Amino acid sequence: MGFYREQIVPRVTNRALNGRPFDRLRARATLGLEGEVLEIGFGSGRNVPHYPATVTRVRAVEPSVVGRKLAAGRVAACPVPVEYIGLDGQELPVGDACIDHVLTTWTLCTIPDVVRALREVHRVLKPSGMLHFVEHGRAPDSRVARWQDRLTPIQRRVASGCHLNRPIDELVAASGLVIERLDHPEVPGPRTFTYMYEGVARR
């Protein structure tokens, strides 16, 4: 599982989350970013081309060495500095209330203690700070949700801890963040895997 998790999963994820539907969601998620941005789950850097000119610095949290290698070209081409600062979204190595915006895209599904991670987001954001997110999660359709519950144990093994059934909006709200906008855009594929949460929450 070590080789599979470290070498295969990042490459599969890089390809699976590519294409126009995902680019559109990345563009929406990065809209309004400015100042100092902390991106949790930086991955292969596919959000980098969508950063607006108002971003002045990016602090990246990414545990995968392969993910960082895949991101190298995008990081080198980025007009603002990108600094890797940590491996774990559950413990962010920055001070309190020092980040303007936090960005997560298809990341909250895999963090083991997602409640702790979102509390960390709340801690590091400035009083006016915002969380921008695009995540997949629990569908409101009970039939789909039941399948998500059934498949999540398999998905966690196949996709490095990925949960299909996390209620992203409830988790964000439970952290103390206030959701200001929430949409459920459609992307191709079975709703079991593709029920999306896209929005912004403020501290």
CATH numeric code, 2-202: 3.40.50.150
List pLDDT tens digits, range 72-91: 999 999 999 999 998 999 99
The pLDDT, as a whole number, for residue 1 is 52
Domain ranges of the chain: 2-202
The contacts found for 109-115 with CB under 8 angstroms, 24 or more apart, are 109/135, 109/136, 109/137, 109/161, 109/162, 109/163, 109/164, 109/166, 110/41, 110/159, 110/160, 110/161, 110/162, 110/163, 111/40, 111/41, 111/161, 112/161, 114/166, 114/171, 115/171, 115/174, 115/175
Report the relative pairing of strands 82-86 and 196-202 from DSSP bridges. unpaired
pTM: 0.95
Calpha distance 76→30 (Å, rounded): 19
Band the pLDDT of 141: cuts 50, 70, 90. very high
Mean of per-residue pLDDT scores for the chain: 96
List pLDDT tens digits, range 172-187: 999 999 999 999 999 9
